[in-house]
């Protein structure tokens, strides 16, 4: 069975309106990593860690905000190897900042709120 890798921007949100926005070249794997980090008490965002532990898992949602295709990026950029990976990561970081700027930092659970409006 082939494992699907999905790159893009995602949002982890609590029903109270608090949320975490992130990016990854493999969103499913990253979500698993977030969950495992929370369970062992080592998540990079203390705010996300604290709220998760005070609430029920069923109060949270995980969704993809934007899918970003590395195949399409490769066609447009004409890059290969390490340059392709680095360029794609920069593209994801820029898209993550764009998404963060659409939301209020008041409810952000990210470690740094620098990219929120």
Q: What is the pLDDT along the chain (117 residues), one digit of tens a residue?
A: 667 788 999 999 999 999 999 999 999 999 999 999 999 999 999 999 999 999 999 999 999 999 998 888 887 777 788 888 889 999 999 999 999 999 888 899 988 877 776
Report in angstroms the alpha-carbon separations of 105 from 20, 21, 74, 102.
Answer: 10, 11, 33, 10
CB 65 within 8 A of CB 21: yes
pLDDT of residue 2: 67
CATH architecture of 8-102: 3-Layer(aba) Sandwich (3.40)
pLDDT of residue 117: 64
Structure tokens at 53: 């532990």
CB 114 within 8 A of CB 106: no
Closest CA to 20 of 62, 67, 59: 62
Structure tokens at 113: 């709120």
């Amino acid at each position: 069975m082939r494992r699907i890798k999905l790159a893009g921007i995602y949002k982890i949100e609590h029903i109270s309106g608090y949320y975490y926005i992130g990016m990854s070249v493999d969103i499913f794997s990253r979500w698993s990593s977030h969950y495992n980090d929370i369970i062992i008490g080592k998540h990079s965002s203390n705010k996300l860690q604290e709220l998760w532990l005070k609430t029920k898992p069923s109060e949270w949602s995980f969704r993809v905000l934007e899918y970003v295709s590395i195949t399409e990026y490769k066609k447009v950029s004409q890059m290969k190897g390490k340059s392709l990976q680095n360029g794609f990561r920069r593209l994801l970081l820029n898209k993550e900042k764009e998404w963060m700027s659409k939301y209020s930092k008041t409810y952000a659970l990210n470690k740094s709120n620098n990219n929120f409006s």
